Structure 1
Amino acid sequence: MTKFGYTLMTEQSGPRELVRYAVAAEEAGFDFEVSSDHYSPWLTEQGHAPYAWTVLGAVAQATERVGLMTYVTCPTIRYHPAVVAQKSATLQILAEGRFTLGLGSGESLNEHVVGEGWPAIQDRQEMLREAVDIIRSLHTGELVDYRGEYFQVDSARVWDLPDEGVEIGLAVAGNRAVEQFAPLGDHLIGVEPDADLISGWNKVEGAKQVGSEARAIGQIPICWGPDKEAAVAKAHEQFRWFGGGWAVNADLPTPAGFAGATQFVRAEDVAGSIPCGPDLDAIVESVSAYWKAGFTDIALVQIGDEDQDRFLAEAAGPLLEKLRAAAPA
């Protein structure tokens, strides 16, 4: 059965609001909730960037049923992988087994802030491989010493470990990333509805198979609202960065850079790629691209902080009914 999630978008909401939305999303019937992990918003109009791990700790205590996940954490520059191993284990204990650690190679926007520079993509992927190895090793509870090309760990042990362990989802895009990371991850994370990602993942020797052992988790922005023109304007104001694609988005360092890169993106361009307005059937049609590509889990991003309460109270329930009726069982 296809599962549908709600995105705790740290770039557009403050920490107290995010916890409130998490509770409301669980009550509305979402299956899981994912959180972005940002140091900066994509655009200044979004206006927020609270610490995702503190928010998720509060959400773990405020909710009871929904799965939780980072979408995604970069465990290589802003965070050392030994720290990610510790905090993900702690969060899993607080969540009582509901947490999945989503990892990726990151974006300059969030990682350059610690002054360590921004490596080339091949280096970032090798750093992620080492990070996953370190996290897996520390999650055994054993004493770990590690000497890699990029990371060192000296006599480290994670003392509080969840009985369930911590499953890891890995963000992949392109054949090389799939071949590298499929054997290392419990689940696939994809940023676009590309069936080749899933078929490629399932062909890699040693990979957990999507559809049986592994989940394929995607994410799609929507801008529901009773006034379509207002919804299009909101999506353009706060989400026009989305059209740049991840090859561009990974390398721009600041919200000002994203503003400059998207200054010629028109409202109609955004409306052509993001479903906007009150038409729930149009949203279902857009979301369907993911399950048609073979994704098992799809998280929705409702654009705009001021619209979250109304979306969750009025639209989320009927939308989930339509999505579940249309998606494959």
Structure 2
Amino acid sequence: MRIGYFLSSEEYTPTQLIEQATLAQDAGFASLWISDHFHPWNDEQGQGPFVWSLIGALSQVVTIPVTTAVTCPIQRIHPAITAQAAATSAVLHEGRFVLGVGTGEALNEHVTGERWPSAGERLEMLEESVAVMRELWQGGFVSHRGRHFTVDQARLYTLPDQPPQVYVSAFGPKAIDVAARIADGYISTMPDGDLVTRYREKGGKGPAQGGFKGSWAPTEEEAVTTAYRLWPNAAVPGELSQVLPSPRHFEQASQLVTEEMIRDAIVCGPDPAGHREQIRAYEKAGFDEIYIANTGPHYRELIEMYRREFL
């Protein structure tokens, strides 16, 4: 099981994210995830830096692989522009960049004023988008007029030696089937072995990456309080995370979340036992890589705990 570190763009400033990345690499983490958000989930988290600027900056301070977890290349940013950003990122990271993609959340994608499509339509858009990007990564001029996207005589001049790998995030059977068809790897934030099995049985290739959140603090109670203040959305159920359009709507929905629910959703406190249990759950489910994100100010302590206990 490879262990990586998850950079949460919703919560930390660009400078803090760069610091976390360097600390994680020095501690022995194998790779990095970085989230791609326009908005945080709530105002308490308070950040929303542009991920592509950060990925460029990361290329100058780390040499471990970086994966977006995840980018939505179907609405806020056209797939041709995403393809250009990913190609440049792969060049800067000397082939160690992976484009993780998914169907996104209205929270981030509605900002252009376009209609927020249904889940099924977004899956169609994602599949077409990945095909467009892969064609652009082959070089030469591309013109495309599909059901959802148009590309007119576009050519990427800055390309890596090998096209970026594309990993797909999926949480339901239909999405898993699309991922198995188009992905170079699978991404999830649930240790669900049935989904990994379905991905493999449907022909899915490459590694399965999973991620979870921890909240390190000197005491478990302080960690729970911090996680509840910053990430109550972690326990918001169902499809709300995909359809609510604003941080204030997540704040309203999070009023239904209790501290006990957060205690179940996020590993809280200084004891490594809860982290070990989560890692084993993902390993048992068939994941090849696991990424841990810290919640709150004590990211140095969490990284040090992982260096000492797991890396």
Instruction: Name the TM-score class by shorter chain.
Output: over 0.9
In the alignment, structure 1 segments of 5+ residues that lack a partner are 209-213, 322-329
Alignment of 1:211-290 (within 5 A): 214-245=206-237, 247-290=239-282
Number of corresponding residues: 311
1:67-97 Cα distance to aligned partner (Å, 9 max, x none): 1010000001001000011010000000011
1:318 is aligned to 2:284: no
Seen in structure 2, the aligned counterparts of structure 1 residues 246 and 190 have a Cα distance that, compared at 3 Å, is farther
Q: Which residue of 2 aligns with 1:133?
A: 131
Report if the CA contact (8 A) 2:216-2:301 is conserved: no
Q: Which residue of 2 aligns with 1:9?
A: 8
**AA partner of residue 18 (structure 1):** L
2-structure distance, mates of 1:274, 1:21: 19
SS in structure 1 opposite 2:209?
Answer: strand
SS in structure 1 opposite 2:215?
Answer: strand
1-structure distance, mates of 2:50, 2:298: 22
Mean Cα deviation higher: 2-11 or 242-251: 242-251
1-structure distance, mates of 2:223, 2:179: 37
**AA partner of residue 242 (structure 2):** A
Alignment of 1:71-110 (within 5 A): 71-110=69-108
**AA partner of residue 43 (structure 1):** N
Note the aligned Cα RMSD (angstroms): 1.2
Equivalent in 110, 113, 131 of residue 112 of structure 1: 110
SS in structure 2 opposite 1:183?
Answer: helix
Report if the CA contact (8 A) 2:98-2:167 is conserved: yes
2-structure distance, mates of 1:123, 1:221: 30
2-structure distance, mates of 1:222, 1:38: 20
Seen in structure 2, the aligned counterparts of structure 1 residues 244 and 49 have a Cα distance that, compared at 3 Å, is same
How far 1:165 sits from its partner (Å)? 1.9
**AA partner of residue 300 (structure 2):** D
2-structure distance, mates of 1:308, 1:77: 33
Q: Which residue of 1 aligns with 2:300?
A: 309
2-structure distance, mates of 1:202, 1:7: 25
How far 1:191 sits from its partner (Å)? 2.4
SS in structure 1 opposite 2:80?
Answer: helix
2-structure distance, mates of 1:245, 1:22: 30
1-structure distance, mates of 2:158, 2:238: 36
Report if the CA contact (8 A) 2:216-2:299 is conserved: no
Q: Which residue of 2 aligns with 1:211?
A: none
**AA partner of residue 120 (structure 2):** Q
Question: Percent sequence identity over matched residues?
Answer: 38
**AA partner of residue 316 (structure 1):** Y
- Runs in 1 of length 4+ with deviation above 4 angstroms? none
How far 1:246 sits from its partner (Å)? 5.5
Q: Which residue of 2 aligns with 1:58?
A: 57
1-structure distance, mates of 2:237, 2:3: 23
TM-score, normalised to structure 1, is 0.92
SS in structure 1 opposite 2:197?
Answer: helix
Seen in structure 2, the aligned counterparts of structure 1 residues 256 and 319 have a Cα distance that, compared at 3 Å, is farther
SS in structure 1 opposite 2:181?
Answer: coil
SS in structure 1 opposite 2:214?
Answer: strand
Equivalent in 183, 187, 191 of residue 193 of structure 1: 191
1:277-318 Cα distance to aligned partner (Å, 9 max, x none): 1110122112221111000011101111x2123333x32312
